[in-house]
């Protein structure tokens, strides 16, 4: 008996010791060279369930979040990106766990280590006031001005209201259960599955069942009316407008089905279960391609979203992101041209379709002279493939990024060019890509050597000529 016990203890020591040797904490970043703290290593999230009881006037949330993940190494502890909240309960696999909060890094230590390859569930209850995160682009994340709420997080605002692996490399599906008092309405990503009203509060149950990057999560709480329609192949379209702006909203988004037709033809099947727009009742200086439900401010209704860009082109831009940015996501924020260059080029494809060849070429020439202007070049970045971290959303990324695709099209011809776009959208669907992946794929599909073209257009401080259109940079 005694011998047995000693042997058992010895065995435990040896086995436990061996296991412990390979075991370690998950990394506190995902290797993004611009934002090394974004995301975390050692696990792969499959699904988030966000159950939020929201008091809009006081901007407090009572939250219950569960995260289903798979360990990708033996984990002694792991980290999530998360703002500062009052934690009311934390378990991992139903066992109490301890945590350490350091800025936006929230480290969880389970009682039992988590073996590589095994699923685990994190369950967190917390309350507090979500604070927007200050990023170079401005305040991002959960935004509440006391009357309504919207969520716009690119590149890293999701952590303002839930614990998350906050990098596009770790996409996951989502369930939302958002409870608000009447008369608020909630619009989030995916499909509205249920509304449950009890004692004057309504819980909106939304399911997003395609993989989604955290910066594309959106939750909007306001006085909305919904307009429904259909896109290609019966795709459900639902647009949410402030109730006093329903007519203006319908007019501004009337051509979305036609845009969906065009982009489906040019890029391949629309990747998600639904599409639509949400217009929040506020003038915003931007729009965002939140997955399945792009977000706009009221400027989209009267031309004030983005000074010189017509509203219809912004509508097309956010739609095109669903293929490029949302379904196919970047792997490094440095390569943001893969999102913005593509969506900006898609605006011109819409011009080509809706206004004809002449208008299209005039737009290309306009882009070129804008971006080739020496005044412009001396301000900050000029090469779209490698913008400084504080200029991720600079015009060069959008405009010269778009021209890069046009240069490719002029080089390989229309048929091969659209074959490249469709092959790219299909091969990296729901996943991540890189500039190197795109260049390799373009070479594979076209059978041409294209590195000189891409190097010049993406990385040379001086904009290359576009001799086919008689365009060259001023001396």
DSSP 161-228: TS-B--STTS-EEEEEEEEEETT-EEEESSEEEEEEEETTEEEEEEEEEEEE-GGG--EEEESEEEEE
Check residue 320 for interaction with Zn ion (CB under 5 A). no
The footprint of ligand TRP on residues 99-138 (CB under 6 A) is 137
Q: Which does 281 bind (CB under 5 to 8 A by kind): ligand TRP, Zn ion, none?
A: none
CB nearer to ligand TRP: give 177 or 400: 400
CB nearer to ligand TRP: give 317 or 406: 317
How far are the Cα atoms of 185, 254, 295, 307, 475 from residue 280, in angstroms, in the given order? 12, 18, 7, 19, 45
Closest approach of ligand TRP to the CB of residue 402, in Å = 12
In degrees, rounded to 5, the angle at the alpha carbon of residue 474 between the alpha carbons of residues 472 and 475 is: 115
Closest approach of ligand TRP to the CB of residue 385, in Å = 17
Closest approach of Zn ion to the CB of residue 192, in Å = 26
CB nearer to ligand TRP: give 99 or 286: 286
| Total residues in contact with Zn ion, by rule CB under 5 A | 2
Check residue 140 for interaction with ligand TRP (CB under 6 A). yes
Closest approach of ligand TRP to the CB of residue 328, in Å = 14
In degrees, rounded to 5, the angle at the alpha carbon of residue 279 between the alpha carbons of residues 277 and 284 is: 120
The footprint of ligand TRP on residues 405-434 (CB under 6 A) is none
CB nearer to ligand TRP: give 32 or 340: 340
Q: For residues 25 and 76, is the Cβ–Cβ distance under 8 A?
A: yes
Closest approach of ligand TRP to the CB of residue 139, in Å = 9
Closest approach of ligand TRP to the CB of residue 390, in Å = 12
SS3 142: strand
Max alpha carbon distance in the chain (Å)? 92
What would the x/- binding string for Zn ion be over residues 321 to 340, using CB under 5 A?
A: -------------------x
CB nearer to ligand TRP: give 281 or 289: 289
Q: Would you state the structure tokens that stand for residue 62, as one six-digit string?
A: 């009572």
| Total residues in contact with ligand TRP, by rule CB under 6 A | 12
SS3 345: helix
Closest approach of Zn ion to the CB of residue 392, in Å = 11
Cα 259 from Cα 320, distance rounded (Å): 9
CA atoms within 13 A on the CB side of 390: 5
CB nearer to ligand TRP: give 170 or 289: 289
Residue whose structure tokens are 């009221």: 298
Check residue 34 for interaction with ligand TRP (CB under 6 A). no
Q: For residues 173 and 287, is the Cβ–Cβ distance under 8 A?
A: no
Cα 434 from Cα 265, distance rounded (Å): 24
Residue whose structure tokens are 């020439």: 365
Q: Where are the beta strands (DSSP E) in 37-103?
A: 43-55, 60-71, 75-81, 86-92, 95-96, 98-102
Q: Which does 335 bind (CB under 5 to 8 A by kind): Zn ion, ligand TRP, none?
A: none
CB nearer to ligand TRP: give 75 or 151: 151
What would the x/- binding string for ligand TRP be over residues 380 to 409, using CB under 6 A?
A: -------------x----------------
What would the x/- binding string for ligand TRP be over residues 312 to 341, using CB under 6 A?
A: -----xx---------------------x-
Q: Which does 140 bind (CB under 5 to 8 A by kind): Zn ion, ligand TRP, none?
A: ligand TRP
The footprint of Zn ion on residues 339-358 (CB under 5 A) is 340, 343
Question: Taking the alpha carbons of 168, 399, 389, 85 in that order, is the dihedral positive or negative?
Answer: negative
Question: Taking the alpha carbons of 57, 60, 64, 68 in that order, is the dihedral positive or negative?
Answer: positive
Q: Which does 430 bind (CB under 5 to 8 A by kind): ligand TRP, Zn ion, none?
A: none
The footprint of ligand TRP on residues 255-294 (CB under 6 A) is 286-289
Cα 123 from Cα 409, distance rounded (Å): 49
SS3 284: coil
Chain contacts with Zn ion (rule: CB under 5 A): 340, 343
Residues that bind ligand TRP (CB under 6 A): 137, 140, 152, 154, 286-289, 317-318, 340, 393
């Amino acid at each position: 008996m005694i011998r047995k016990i000693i042997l058992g203890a010895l065995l435990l020591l040896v086995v436990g010791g061996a296991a412990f040797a390979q075991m370690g904490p998950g990394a506190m970043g995902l290797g993004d060279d611009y934002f090394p703290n974004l995301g975390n290593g050692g696990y792969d999230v499959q699904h988030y369930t966000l159950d939020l009881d929201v008091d809009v006037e006081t901007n407090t949330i009572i939250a219950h979040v569960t995260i289903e993940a798979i360990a990708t190494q033996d984990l002694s502890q792991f980290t999530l990106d998360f703002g500062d909240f009052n934690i009311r309960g934390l378990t991992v696999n139903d066992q109490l766990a301890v945590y350490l909060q350091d800025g936006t890094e929230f480290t969880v230590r389970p009682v039992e280590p988590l073996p590589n390859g095994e699923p685990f569930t994190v369950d967190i209850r917390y309350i507090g006031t979500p604070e927007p995160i200050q990023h170079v682009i401005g305040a991002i994340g959960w935004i509440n001005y006391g009357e309504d709420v919207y969520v716009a997080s690119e590149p890293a605002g999701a952590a303002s209201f839930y614990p998350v692996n906050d990098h596009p490399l770790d996409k996951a599906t989502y369930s939302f259960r958002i409870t608000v008092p009447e008369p608020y309405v909630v619009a989030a990503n995916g499909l509205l599955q249920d509304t449950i009203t009890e004692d004057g509060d309504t819980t909106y149950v939304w399911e997003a069942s395609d993989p989604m990057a955290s910066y594309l999560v959106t939750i909007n709480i306001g006085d909305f009316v919904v307009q429904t329609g259909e896109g290609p192949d019966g795709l459900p379209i639902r647009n949410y407008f402030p109730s006093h702006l329903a007519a203006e909203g319908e007019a501004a988004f009337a051509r979305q089905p036609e845009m969906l037709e065009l982009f489906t033809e040019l890029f391949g099947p629309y990747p998600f279960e639904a599409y639509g727009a949400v217009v929040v009742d506020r003038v915003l200086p931007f729009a965002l391609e939140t997955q399945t439900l792009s977000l706009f401010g009221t400027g989209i209704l009267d031309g004030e979203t983005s000074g010189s860009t017509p509203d219809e082109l912004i509508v097309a831009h956010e739609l095109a992101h669903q293929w490029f940015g949302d379904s196919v996501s970047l792997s490094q924020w440095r390569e943001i041209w893969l999102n913005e260059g593509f969506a900006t080029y898609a605006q011109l494809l819409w011009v080509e379709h809706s206004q004809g060849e002449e208008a299209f070429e005039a737009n290309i020439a306009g882009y070129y002279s804008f971006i080739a202007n020496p005044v412009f070049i001396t301000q900050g970045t000029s090469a779209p493939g490698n913008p400084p971290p504080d200029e991720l959303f600079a015009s060069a990324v959008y405009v010269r990024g778009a021209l890069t695709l046009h240069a490719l099209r002029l080089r390989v011809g229309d048929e091969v060019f659209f074959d490249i776009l469709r092959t790219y959208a299909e091969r990296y669907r729901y996943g991540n890509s890189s500039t190197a992946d795109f260049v390799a794929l373009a070479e594979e599909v076209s059978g041409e050597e294209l590195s000189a073209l891409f190097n010049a257009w993406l990385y040379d401080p001086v904009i290359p000529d576009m001799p086919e259109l008689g365009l060259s940079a001023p001396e």
